[in-house]
């Protein structure tokens, strides 16, 4: 029987190999050995390591392991190139980005084949998904380059950006980072993953062909020490990292106190929620894409399948049948569904986690399909009978392994979906649009796909919540993370006024009559400090003005619990939040003379102007509450992506020592306007204005727990708050040493931070602080992809 007859009999796929000849020829032209690309030229190869084809174990090339000296040379080249590059008009930078996009398209097949050989992903994915998206990012950001001055007035590039990318999408992650950085006017030192450096080196040649000025893009290859040299380099202004949460935390700690900009796109354990009214066949096809795309080596992979109990048995039966039709094999075969994992070490890690999941009670299913020998191949895997405590339900496996659980009600689905330290992405399948749009805002994830999965576009921001990191890549919000306010580069150190000597600091010597120690304000009630101690507050002459409670760890615990219990504040309509802030302003103005007198007693200055400024600031953010909203993106798919601006959650705010009233109001007003709840530590030196303020809160309809006030030593309370896993973001206005401590301690749950680092921020400046500056830092963007159009 001839081959055609056999095919019609078996209805099996025949091989459809993609030629590797062009990629092999390109490697041979470099003698299969590469140095770095620094200052527009190739360096002489140093100590090298092998880059292997994970499908067959063959060595593709030798790649140089970058040293600290190599990184330093690249940073110097980027620094030297920065003045001229940033001085170009946006139109001129955009032309370079356009040229890069066109050259990527011209050499798209070479990029696709090289990517598949180096990474192991099927050629269909690199050819039809990755490389077109790479070109799309450079096209899209060519436009941003020209429109930055209009859309981001008074903003400037950071300078030199250090960028570290992972091995799962080597060229796409490069495009996600380099395109916006260059559009903004930054220069770049990029380190690709050690397993997959080759397409980044090919991209370096594209930069040369596009006549990109020397030093604008520098590619330094290497292992972990090379990345550490980048994050620790003192002349790098911003770090952008995509990779594991564990490494992201290390980078957050390493950059603490340096003033570097930082964006982290980290791990995920994304839920894939299927309701009983879903189109099951479509949901299963989406699931194949969600978990077995790129062998499951995707940070936003739908690795946790949540199926409504009423359809669980039928869904799993169909899923297993579909798994049996998946083809595992040579990634260069265009008929293959699942290629090779990136390296043997990754295969072993996945196997170990699967064994652990089974040992903890999970039931393993693998289809009876052929898997090639001699490469890093694994079968698609399903683990059922899993509880929320099982390791495989919590740890990011980063392989072709799906974990399944069932739910009964939508409420239970949301609880299971959010029961993770991650918050990168989520998928919802249902034919009920009301249900889908009810569930989407309840999911703690930066991206939500409805009746679809793994949609990406340069116009739509991508990034996570919680321990999936902070920052966005793509779209307007992605551009914002490569720019900073121009005035921030001109800040001067804060110089505190010298304390004047006066009466004894012993309150027993000064206090008389009835004790009027100001209490704390927690959960809508005045609360005595757990410590049982108070702190004296002295005026400029040293005379005792009053006393406040000395807060400790237990007071912080109580305040954080109250703030988290009040998180429903974010679901209160923006109109209602605005009304309450207006009411706060009104009631504060009624008592302006009283607050001015208190300010005068604490600072010796006329407090009338500060009270007036505080009232105006509350009015300003009341006005923003229902106006600082999102957008609807129009990606080149049959979808729309709604960019929803959401609150961060429970925030800790430690006010500056100066301006006892305005210093706190200027920070809490934008946080509250955007729906966050707050634990406030007021000025350590002059806290009485904010302990008076809780009387205004009590008469202004502010729900209990929305604003909690704990007095005490800022440095001590800042550490407790920064380490607290119940706090989602922390702002600290104070000295450089404590700022560094706050940033370092915040790495525990990857909090978003803002610190003043000992610099003087004039919070009375309306032009700077009555708008986007703090609003953007008080929010995060969730992109919800919704099917739209024919």
For residue 505, name the pLDDT band (cuts at 50, 70, 90): very low
Secondary structure E strands in 592-649: 631-633, 639-647
Is 299 marked active-site?
Answer: yes
pLDDT in tens, 578-613: 999 999 999 999 999 999 999 999 999 989 999 999
Give the pLDDT confidence score for residue 404 in this predicted structure: 98
Give the whole-angstrom CA distance, residue 585 versus residue 287. 51
Whether the pLDDT of residue 515 is over 80: the answer is: no
Whether the pLDDT of residue 1 is over 70: the answer is: no
pLDDT in tens, 336-362: 999 999 999 999 999 999 999 999 999
Whether the pLDDT of residue 511 is over 50: the answer is: no
Is 713 marked active-site?
Answer: no
Whether the pLDDT of residue 514 is over 70: the answer is: no
Give the pLDDT confidence score for residue 15 in this predicted structure: 84
Give the pLDDT confidence score for residue 11 in this predicted structure: 65
For residue 507, name the pLDDT band (cuts at 50, 70, 90): very low
Give the whole-angstrom CA distance, residue 70 versus residue 278. 54
For residue 499, name the pLDDT band (cuts at 50, 70, 90): low
For residue 14, name the pLDDT band (cuts at 50, 70, 90): confident
pLDDT in tens, 656-711: 999 999 999 999 999 999 999 999 999 999 999 999 999 999 999 999 999 999 99
Average pLDDT, the chain: 95
Give the pLDDT confidence score for residue 497 in this predicted structure: 64
Point out the catalytic residue in the list 18, 115, 194, 265.
265
First-last CA distance in the chain? 45
Rounded alpha-carbon distances, angstroms, from residue 775 to 484, 512, 638, 642, 772? 14, 44, 32, 19, 5
Give the pLDDT confidence score for residue 503 in this predicted structure: 40
Instruction: State the DSSP H helix or E strand holding residue 390, giving kind and residue range, or none if neither.
Output: none
pLDDT in tens, 551-568: 999 999 999 999 999 999
Percent share of the chain, pLDDT over 70: 96
Give the pLDDT confidence score for residue 517 in this predicted structure: 86
Nearest alpha carbon to residue 743 among 373, 259, 46, 394? 259
Contact status, residue 511 vs residue 518, Cβ threshold 8 Å: no
**CA torsion angle 171 175 176 182 (round to 10):** 150
Q: Could you tell me the strand order of the sheet in which 525-527 lies?
A: 525-527, 520-522, 707-709, 677-681, 650-654, 729-732, 752-755
Whether the pLDDT of residue 16 is over 90: the answer is: no
Point out the catalytic residue in the list 207, 299, 300, 376.
299
Whether the pLDDT of residue 22 is over 50: the answer is: yes
Q: What is the full DSSP assignment across 704-763?
A: TTSEEE--S-HHHHHHHHHH-TT--EEEE-S-HHHHHHHHHHGGGTT-EEEE-TTB---T
Give the pLDDT confidence score for residue 745 in this predicted structure: 98
Give the whole-angstrom CA distance, residue 575 versus residue 434. 23
Whether the pLDDT of residue 382 is over 90: the answer is: yes
Contact status, residue 338 vs residue 122, Cβ threshold 8 Å: yes
pLDDT in tens, 222-262: 999 999 999 999 999 999 999 999 999 999 999 999 999 99
pLDDT in tens, 718-761: 999 999 999 999 999 999 999 999 999 999 999 999 999 999 99
pTM for this predicted structure: 0.95
Beta strand 425-429 pairing with 401-407: unpaired
Secondary structure E strands in 430-470: 447-450, 469-470
Give the whole-angstrom CA distance, residue 292 versus residue 288. 5
């Amino acid at each position: 029987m001839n081959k055609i007859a056999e095919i019609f009999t078996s209805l099996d796929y025949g091989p459809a190999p993609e030629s590797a000849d062009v990629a092999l020829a390109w490697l041979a032209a470099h003698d299969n050995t590469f140095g770095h690309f620094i200052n527009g030229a190739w360096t002489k190869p140093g100590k090298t390591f092998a880059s292997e084809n994970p499908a067959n174990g063959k060595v593709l090339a030798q790649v140089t392991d970058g040293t600290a000296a190599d990184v330093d040379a690249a940073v110097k080249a980027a620094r030297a190139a920065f003045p001229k590059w940033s001085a170009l008009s946006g139109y001129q930078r955009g032309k370079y980005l356009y040229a890069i996009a066109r050259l990527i398209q011209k050499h798209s097949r070479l990029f696709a084949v090289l990517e598949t050989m180096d990474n192991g992903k099927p050629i269909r994915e690199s050819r039809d998904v990755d490389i077109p998206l790479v070109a799309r990012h450079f096209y899209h950001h060519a436009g941003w380059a020209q429109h930055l001055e209009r859309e981001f007035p008074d903003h400037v590039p950071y300078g030199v950006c250090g960028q570290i990318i992972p091995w799962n999408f080597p060229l796409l992650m490069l495009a996600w980072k380099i395109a916006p950085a260059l559009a903004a006017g930054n220069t770049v030192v990029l380190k690709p993953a050690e397993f997959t450096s080759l397409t980044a080196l090919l991209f370096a040649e594209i930069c040369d062909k596009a006549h990109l000025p020397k030093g604008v893009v520098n590619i330094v290859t290497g292992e972990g020490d090379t990345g550490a040299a980048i994050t620790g380099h003192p002349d790098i202004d911003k770090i952008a990292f995509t990779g594991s949460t564990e490494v992201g935390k290390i980078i957050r700690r390493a950059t603490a106190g340096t003033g570097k900009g930082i964006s982290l796109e980290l791990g995920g354990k994304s839920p894939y929620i299927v309701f009983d009214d879903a189109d099951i066949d479509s949901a299963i096809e989406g699931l194949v894409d969600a978990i077995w795309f790129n062998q499951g080596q995707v940070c936003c992979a739908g690795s946790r399948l949540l199926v409504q109990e009423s359809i669980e048995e039928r869904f799993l039966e169909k899923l297993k049948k579909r798994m049996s039709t998946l083809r595992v094999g040579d990634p260069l075969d265009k008929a293959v569904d699942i290629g090779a994992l990136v390296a043997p070490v990754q295969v072993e890690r996945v196997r170990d986690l699967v064994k652990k999941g089974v040992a903890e009670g999970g039931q393993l299913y693998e289809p009876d399909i052929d898997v090639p020998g001699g490469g890093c191949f694994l079968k698609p895997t399903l683990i059922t009978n899993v509880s929320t405590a099982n390791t495989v339900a919590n740890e990011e496996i980063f392989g072709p392994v799906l974990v399944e659980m069932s739910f009964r009600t939508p409420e239970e689905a949301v609880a299971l979906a959010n029961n993770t330290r991650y918050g990168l992405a989520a998928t919802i399948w249902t034919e009920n649009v009301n249900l889908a749009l009810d569930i989407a805002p309840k999911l703690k994830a930066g991206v939500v796909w409805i009746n679809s999965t793994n949609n990406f576009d340069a116009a739509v921001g991508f990034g996570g919540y919680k321990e999936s990191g902070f920052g966005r890549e793509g779209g307007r919000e992605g551009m914002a993370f490569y720019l900073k306010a121009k005035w921030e580069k001109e800040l001067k150190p804060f110089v505190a006024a010298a304390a004047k000597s006066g009466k004894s600091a012993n309150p027993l010597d000064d206090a008389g009559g009835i004790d009027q120690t100001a209490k704390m304000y927690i959960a809508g009630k005045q609360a005595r400090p757990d410590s049982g101690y108070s702190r004296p507050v002295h005026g400029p002459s040293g005379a005792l003005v009053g006393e406040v409670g000395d807060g400790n760890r237990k007071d912080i615990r109580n305040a954080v619990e109250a703030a988290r219990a009040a998180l429903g504040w974010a679901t209160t309509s923006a109109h209602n939040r605005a009304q309450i802030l207006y009411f706060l302003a009104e009631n504060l103005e009624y008592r302006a003379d009283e607050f001015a007198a208190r300010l005068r007693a604490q600072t010796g200055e006329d407090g009338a102007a500060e009270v007036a400024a505080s009232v105006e600031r509350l009015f300003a953010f009341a006005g923003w509450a229902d106006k600082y909203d999102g957008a609807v993106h129009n990606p080149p798919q049959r979808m729309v992506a709604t960019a929803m601006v959401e609150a961060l959650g429970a925030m800790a705010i430690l006010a500056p020592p100066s301006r006892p009233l305005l210093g706190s109001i200027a920070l809490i007003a934008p946080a509250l306007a955007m729906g966050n709840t707050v634990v406030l530590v007021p000025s350590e030196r002059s806290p009485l204005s904010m302990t008076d303020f809780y009387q205004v809160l009590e008469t202004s309809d502010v729900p209990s727990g929305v604003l909690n006030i704990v007095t005490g030593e800022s440095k001590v309370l800042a550490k407790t708050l920064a380490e607290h896993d119940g706090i989602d973001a922390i702002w600290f206005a104070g000295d450089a040493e404590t700022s560094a401590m706050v940033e370092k301690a915040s790495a525990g749950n990857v909090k978003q931070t803002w610190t003043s680092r000992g610099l003087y921020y004039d919070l009375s400046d309306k032009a700077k602080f009555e708008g986007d500056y703090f609003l953007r830092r008080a929010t995060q963007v969730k992109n919800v992809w919704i099917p739209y159009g024919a």
